[in-house]
Chain A
Amino acid sequence: MSEFRFWFAGQRGTLLALVIFLVMFSIYVVNHPAIANGGFTVDTVGDVVQTAANKGVLLALVAMAQTFVVLTAGIDLSVGMVFILGNCLASYIVAGSMPMAILGALAVVAVGAICGAVNGLIVIFGRLQPIVVTIATGAVFFGLALWMRPFPGTSADFNSDLADALTGKLFGVIPASLVLLAVLVLVIWIPWRRSEIGRATYAAGSSEVAAYMSGMPIRRAKFLAYVLAGAFAAMGGVFLTFFTYSGEASASNGGTYTLFSIAAVVLGGVSLFGGRGSAVGAIFGALAFRAIGDLLFVFNLDPLWQPLFQGVVLLLAVSVGSARLFQVRNRLELFN
């Protein structure tokens, strides 16, 4: 019983994000025109979930990327640009035969990891603030994307089979993008979280001095966090290519994804002060944020209201997280 209490305390942020997501998504699904008209069947619900999953997974990947860096008490303002760079690069090299296309997708992820490594090296060895470094490198990454794709376009032999397989449904029911997300959590997130280096990342974010004094590998931990951030952001870029079949160096898209990734991370219970939270929470945060954005659509309201509505709901949602402040009896706790 007491074990459960500690587990619950540790997962509170993630669970809250899950609840917010479930509430938002239920409202969305129930009111969706395809279901309202077509009835509540496996097909209609499957289609709605697939569309939502495909849109959500883009932000979820970028939010996971952001989580790694935020856990170190940093922030990565270049994730959106790495995402765009990945998109433009993938539109060239996810091409040809299936093995070549898969290799191309992996190469894009590797390039993302290199972008992250650059960020990490500058932050760690240059002792510069992550926010400044990543604004600068983000501009560089976007410049590369623009140089690569001055105009939107795609490779002549773009492999749409791979794209369709990963954006379609597995066994006709489960969206493949969600399966991929689950695999990433199982194969990358959980092993990382339970590794020594993962724990050193949390430690560095919580108290870097104490972590250093404890002899933890904080440099390696922070470096890996940036590398993983780059890789995940590029993975998001590959996915964007899968949906659009093309690459576009869009500055506004890059900026939007960067800012939305921060919103998703906060909604997912990851502390911007570092050391607290989980990528699973960030995924739910991203999906919830997407669901909030799409609510207007199902209620048939003017899309011009979307940013305003999304902002208000986001404010309300993060306020839920701070509701405990009303119970604080020692005012000093307000500052922690």
Chain B
Amino acid sequence: MPTSEPLFRMEGISKRYGGVRALENAELTVEAGKVHAILGENGAGKSTLIKIMSGVVAPDEGRMLLDGREVTFADPAAANAAGIVCIFQELSLIPELSVGDNIIASNPPKRFGMIDRRAQRKLAEEALKRAGGGDIHPSTLVRDLPLSRRQIVEIAKALARKPRILILDEATSALTASDVKTVFEVLKRLRDEGIALLYISHRMHEIAELADTCTVFRNGRNIESYAAGSKSDEQVVELMIGREYHNVFPPKPVPKAETIKPVLEVDSLTWAPRLNGVSFTLKPGEVVGLGGLDGQGQRELLLALFGVLRGTSGQVKVDGVPVSLKSPRQARADRVGMALIPEDRKTEGLMLPMSVRDNLSFAAMSMFSRAGVIDRGVERRAIDEMIRLLAIKTDGIAVPAGSLSGGNQQKLVIAKWLMRRPRIILLNDPTRGIDVGTKQEIYLLLRRLADEGAAIVLYSTDYDELIGCCDKVLVMYDGAVRRTLVGGDITERALIASALSIDTRTDEGAATLTPATA
């Protein structure tokens, strides 16, 4: 045979969880030296497929062939040994161990039965450099690193295992634009070295840039495989969601009249060194975006407004009255009416083992209690309404929140705060790692809430989202608002340029980027 057999093949793979069918007779062929993108909504079976490939779960039916030979994996270590390494969406780093220890987590170099720390250090440094994280010190504890840096460490860790097939599951969702660029260079080099890459992402432009082949999954089956670039974005999304696809963003209303009084006024809010004098105003009905590179103080701004940070200076006015919020409890109180949808839904947003009902009630308990006793009837009606409003897919309200899919968990976090009917809603990257369908529902919801009079601050690492959703975008740099973009000025070019703190000069339609003089 002139053509060599594929590196890896999955045939007739099925997997059920209880009564739920996660995969049904799915197939996948992976070739060396190619980037293969897997697309599909959350719940389409992508995660299960990857888990089976990497030895986390065993399939009910079907077989896997590596180099034409049938293989089974008892655990992730067995898959790793066969050369299949996965970078999971939920990070696999150990917070209390150092970066170096994490990168060389399995099979460290040994001398006299003990770990050879000098050799390990060298390996870790090499892997970090290959992953574009040469600036990270291998002795740093992982818990002291921000999320985006951890992701680089995660990639370095995978590389240190010398993979033949590298699976990236939403590996860029926590990365800043510049980190993504670095990672892509690394991935392209790995492809040229002959490694097979399996790339799962919800970001279409990343797939367009990187992928050679694409496979779309829907309802546990592989629907179609095609060469990258042979279909338009709209066609791909139609394959994914199986229904007609229109613009995901709802139309923006006409700008609000100048006469409307702001609900929130922030003046020189400072929390040195991360926030250096942030000022802005927020009106009812407005969706204000926070843009800029990751880690320029956007998260801290939201936390400071919500009363989480100690020792802030500057002034915050609600309805024109100065307030000093010392805890989330004060921030959510009725006279302020603030809500924060946190970044990490699994730790800050939900109690995963507790029921959907309990999770929805936590923030709003006082609203359906009389004299400290919860009125279960009122609670039930409020919860049902919220589940219907957000179209949360759940097997009733008694199941644990952890059993819901990622997108539905995120809806649950939002629903939990909407129960209180907040007037000021702060969102910290709410659509990270969520499928297109759910994203669209969240965009529609945000716009409707704004139309009903809520004021919204949306931090997002996805530029498309800022462009599509926001009436105004505050681009932050080094803890301050560097530039405010309004209406039609919110373009990808303007966002990137101001995020990098670069001046854009438009000369007869041809824009050039020049570095700002420091």
Chains A and B are bound partners: yes
Q: Residues on A close to B: CB < 8 A?
A: 2-3, 6-7, 9, 191, 194-196, 199, 202-203, 205-207, 209-216, 274-276, 328-332, 336
Residue from B80, B157, B308 within 8 A of A331 (CB atoms): B308
Report chain A residues within 8 Å CB of B143. Answer: 336
Report chain A residues within 8 Å CB of B91. Answer: 210
Report chain A residues within 8 Å CB of B76. Answer: 212-215
Task: Kindly state whether residue B514 has any CB partner on chain A within 8 Å.
Answer: no
**A206 and B97 within 8 A (CB):** yes
Report chain A residues within 8 Å CB of B75. Answer: 212, 215
**B95 and A194 within 8 A (CB):** no
Q: Measured between alpha carbons, how far is A202 from B303 in the docked complex, in Å?
A: 32
Task: Kindly state whether residue B105 has any CB partner on chain A within 8 Å.
Answer: yes
In B79-123, which residues have CB < 8 Å from any A CB? 80, 88, 90-98, 101-102, 105-108, 110, 113-115, 117
Name the residue on A nearest B139 (C-beta). A6
Report chain B residues within 8 Å CB of A9. Answer: 141
Task: Kindly state whether residue B309 has any CB partner on chain A within 8 Å.
Answer: yes
Closest 4 CB pairs of A and B: A215-B77, A206-B96, A275-B96, A213-B92
Name the residue on B nearest A276 (C-beta). B96
**B106 and A331 within 8 A (CB):** no
Report chain A residues within 8 Å CB of B88. Answer: 213
Q: Measured between alpha carbons, how far is A7 from B303 in the docked complex, in Å?
A: 32
**B115 and A199 within 8 A (CB):** yes
**B106 and A215 within 8 A (CB):** yes
**B141 and A214 within 8 A (CB):** no
Report chain B residues within 8 Å CB of A214. Answer: 76, 92, 94, 102, 105-106, 157
Interface of chain A, main secondary structure: helix
Residue from B108, B117, B309, B311 within 8 A of A196 (CB atoms): B108
**A330 and B94 within 8 A (CB):** no
Report chain B residues within 8 Å CB of A336. Answer: 143
Q: Measured between alpha carbons, how far is A262 from B157 in the docked complex, in Å?
A: 35
**B105 and A203 within 8 A (CB):** yes
**B94 and A215 within 8 A (CB):** no
**B114 and A329 within 8 A (CB):** no
B306 CB, nearest partner CB in chain A, Å: 10
Report chain A residues within 8 Å CB of B405. Answer: none
Q: Measured between alpha carbons, how far is A203 from B96 in the docked complex, in Å?
A: 7
Q: Measured between alpha carbons, how far is A89 from B343 in the docked complex, in Å?
A: 56
B51 CB, nearest partner CB in chain A, Å: 10
**B137 and A207 within 8 A (CB):** no
Task: Kindly state whether residue B395 has any CB partner on chain A within 8 Å.
Answer: no
Known: A207-B94, A330-B310. Contact between A196 and B110, CB under 8 A? yes
Q: Measured between alpha carbons, how far is A75 from B38 in the docked complex, in Å?
A: 44
Interface core residue of A6, A196, A328 (most chain B CB under 10 Å): A196
B164 CB, nearest partner CB in chain A, Å: 16
Report chain B residues within 8 Å CB of A211. Answer: 94, 105
Interface core residue of B94, B97, B98, B140 (most chain A CB under 10 Å): B94
**B310 and A331 within 8 A (CB):** yes
Instruction: Pull 5 A–B residue pairs with CB atoms less than 8 Å apart, ordered by A.
Output: A194-B117, A196-B110, A207-B93, A330-B303, A332-B308
Q: Measured between alpha carbons, how far is A170 from B309 in the docked complex, in Å?
A: 57
Report chain A residues within 8 Å CB of B271. Answer: 329
Task: Kindly state whether residue B327 has any CB partner on chain A within 8 Å.
Answer: yes
Interface core residue of A6, A209, A214 (most chain B CB under 10 Å): A214
**A332 and B96 within 8 A (CB):** no
**B308 and A199 within 8 A (CB):** no
Report chain A residues within 8 Å CB of B141. Answer: 9
Q: Measured between alpha carbons, how far is A251 from B446 in the docked complex, in Å?
A: 63
A266 CB, nearest partner CB in chain B, Å: 17
Q: Mark B129-144, 1 if CB is under 8 A from A, else 0.
A: 0000000010111010
**B137 and A275 within 8 A (CB):** no
Task: Kindly state whether residue B508 has any CB partner on chain A within 8 Å.
Answer: no
**B105 and A206 within 8 A (CB):** no
Q: Measured between alpha carbons, how far is A290 from B311 in the docked complex, in Å?
A: 40
Q: Measured between alpha carbons, how far is A332 from B311 in the docked complex, in Å?
A: 14
Name the residue on A nearest B77 (C-beta). A215
Known: A203-B97, A331-B327. Contact between A216 and B105, CB under 8 A? yes
Name the residue on A nearest B303 (C-beta). A330
Q: Mark B148-172, 1 if CB is under 8 A from A, else 0.
A: 0000000001000000000000000
Task: Kindly state whether residue B507 has any CB partner on chain A within 8 Å.
Answer: no
Q: Mark B51-67, 1 if CB is under 8 A from A, else 0.
A: 00000100000000000
**B310 and A215 within 8 A (CB):** no
Known: A194-B117, A202-B96, A275-B94. Contact between A332 and B106, CB under 8 A? no
Task: Kindly state whether residue B348 has any CB partner on chain A within 8 Å.
Answer: yes
**B137 and A2 within 8 A (CB):** yes
Name the residue on B nearest A275 (C-beta). B96
**B308 and A3 within 8 A (CB):** no
Residue from B92, B108, B114 within 8 A of A191 (CB atoms): B114
| Besides A196-B108, A210-B92, A215-B106, 5 new A-B residue pairs in contact (Cβ under 8 A), listed by A number | A199-B108, A203-B97, A211-B105, A212-B76, A213-B92
**A195 and B115 within 8 A (CB):** yes
B510 CB, nearest partner CB in chain A, Å: 45
**B348 and A332 within 8 A (CB):** yes
